[in-house]
Amino acid sequence: MMISDKIRLLIVDDHKVVREGIKAFILPQTEVELAGEAAGGRQAVELAIQLNPDVILMDLIMPDMDGIQATREIKQCLPSASILILTSFAEDEKIIAAIRAGALGYLLKDSSPQDLLEAVQTLHRGESYFPPAIARKLINAFQTPPASDSTPGTLTERENEILILVAHGLSNQEIADRLFLSPWTIRTHISSILSKLNVENRTQAALFALHSGLAKLDD
């Protein structure tokens, strides 16, 4: 049996017209295929566990279970799940709640099809995706760094250098190219950074760097 090298996508939205629209935007791309679709949060949790998709597009407002709770439950069962919030709501509290629940990206429904495809591709690489406007809202809304007893001083000089580049939104490959290192070496350093800072993902690590003053958004 051949193993598909396509990005397997689970679409979660309680409006059928939205799901159909996303499929029309995304599925013609040869690298993406539909793993499944859910009309609510509870069904999303069940299908995520059953199908283990590469990327999950998650709506926020649904009648049976909202996207935040569904994200939280999926991450409890599948810690490596890559969840992209796709919503009409840009309120700070919703963005923060989504990140704390474990989402790796946040995109508004009025974004272009190309932005949506780029976000799916980015999450599939294990990276975070936040458009500049959402990233600024997220950073400005946090009054303190993500929960951690660590400081940037606990990192090595190389780890600090990589964390700054992560905070600026560079991918592992871009960081590797910038520092003349292999992507595998960058992944190893990032794993060490997450462990030392006691954060779950590179988005939280980036927020730590920004709020600690190690990196600045406009650098």
Q: Which residues pair with 11 in a beta bridge?
A: 37, 57
Give the pLDDT confidence score for residue 140 in this predicted structure: 64
Among 95, 43, 47, 83, residue whose Cα is nearest residue 64:
43
Give the pLDDT confidence score for residue 143 in this predicted structure: 44
- Residue type for position 203: T
Question: For residue range 5-22, what is the model confidence (pLDDT) as tens digits?
Answer: 789 999 999 999 999 999
Among 141, 132, 83, residue whose Cα is nearest residue 111:
132
Specify whether the CB–CB gap between 55 and 103 falls below 8 A: no
Which residue's structure tokens are 């606990």? Answer: 154
pLDDT class of 123 with cuts at 50, 70, 90: very high
Q: Is pLDDT at 102 greater than 50 in this prediction? A: yes
Domain boundaries, the chain: 7-140, 144-212
The CATH-assigned architecture of domain 144-212 is: Orthogonal Bundle (1.10)
Domain 7-140 has CATH 3.40.50.970: no
Question: For residue range 162-178, what is the model confidence (pLDDT) as tens digits?
Answer: 998 887 777 788 889 99
Give the pLDDT confidence score for residue 125 in this predicted structure: 87
144-212 has the same fold as 7-140: no
Q: Is pLDDT at 3 greater than 70 in this prediction? A: no
Task: Tell whether pTM > 0.85.
Answer: no
Query: What does the alpha-carbon distance between residue 175 and residue 193 come to, in Å, rounded to a whole number?
Result: 14
Q: Is pLDDT at 49 greater than 90 in this prediction? A: yes
